[in-house]
Structure 1
Amino acid sequence: MQAPLSRIANKFGRNVMSNFVRNHSHGGVPGENLPFDIHNRYKLTLLFTVFIGTGLGAPFLITRHQLLKKGGQLF
């Protein structure tokens, strides 16, 4: 009972994935699969800087917030 059901599910999964790839891929266009636009160099640089800056700056901002929350003066 398990084997026929398994074969049907496997075939269905392969069909779904091959249709997805066939319908959503344009074939070798650089940057097509990225969630942001890479054609405007200045916008890409700004967004990259903001993205990296928030990740690197977050621990310092959290620490500053915690120190100020305790009621003491930071400087």
Structure 2
Amino acid sequence: MLGQAVRRFTTSAVRSSHYAEGPGKNLPFSVDNKWRLLGMMVLFFGSGFTFPFIVVRHQILKK
């Protein structure tokens, strides 16, 4: 009985969810403006790439 109730609840939850469909609609950021997306990607990946170099420079200059 409990299994049937859980199955009915999960089925109704899936049916009642209304999400937009299509490419890029399930992402946590917008892909509509390609220049903004490019800027955000450059900042995200660029900060991760430059961080080790900044840390090494800090360690070298530290007295």
TM (normalized to structure 2)? 0.71
Separation (CA, whole Å) in 2 of partners of 1:15 and 1:55: 43
Task: List gaps (5 residues or longer) in structure 2.
Answer: none
The TM-score, its normalising length taken from structure 1, stands at: 0.62
CA RMSD of aligned residues (A): 2.7
CA offset at residue 9 of structure 1?
6.4
Give the direction of change, closer, same or farther, for the CA distance of 1:16–1:61 in structure 2 (3 Å limit): farther
- Post-superposition, which runs of at least 4 consecutive aligned residues in structure 1 deviate over 2 A? 8-18
**Match of 1:49?**
42
Q: Which has the larger radius of gyration?
A: 1
Gap runs ≥5 in structure 1: none
Cross-structure match for 2:17 = 23
